[in-house]
Amino acid sequence: MEIKLSKDLSRLTKKADPWDFANPPLDVVDLAESMVKFVLDRKALGVAYNQLDLPGNYAVFAMRGSPENFVCFNPKIVQPSEEIIELDEGCLSFPGMVASVKRPRFCRVRFSGPDGQVYTKTFTDMSARTFQHEMEHLTGIPFWSTISKLKFDMARKAAKKRGFDYSHILYKGIVN
């Protein structure tokens, strides 16, 4: 399956629908393999279904892991840590935009794999950050939603210096 980023940024403002393993809208294995390939080919950390030019809007994302990659269907954060760390983040849908985002250092999560089995894992550091970032996509929240308006404006201005104009992007929301 050939996949590419969607140019329709309004997809990113909508909450994802649950993936139905009993009646899958796409071949599960093909989707999982294609999403992992997409992430690896772009040297990205993850990608959510609603970032892609695919039919529907489903609760699925792929993320780079070590030693294995994960494709998470119907993911949930069960328990975030109380310890918060702040790091710079970017996003495939908004190249050139980087913002310093505070997130829990680790999180206990639950998701179904492409095989339909439910897994519970604890992710730490960058894997936890990636899981949380992709989860926000599935809930229609931009990655900069938790930063201040000042930090957002600075990130948008820095992106413009890098050649990316996000003047149509609003704080806490997206305008296409």
> Which member of 33, 89, 134, 136 is catalytic?
134
Q: Is residue 136 among the annotated active site residues? A: no
User: What is the side-by-side strand order in the sheet with 118-124?
Assistant: 46-48, 60-63, 70-80, 106-112, 118-124
Residue 138 CA to residue 14 CA, distance in Å, equals 8
Structure tokens at 1: 């399956």
Burial 107-139 (b: 16+ CB within 10 A, else e): bebebbebeeeeeeeebeeebbbbbbbbbbbbe
Please state, as a whole number, how many other Cβ atoms lie within 10 Å of the Cβ of residue 1.
Answer: 14
Please list the active-site residues. 134
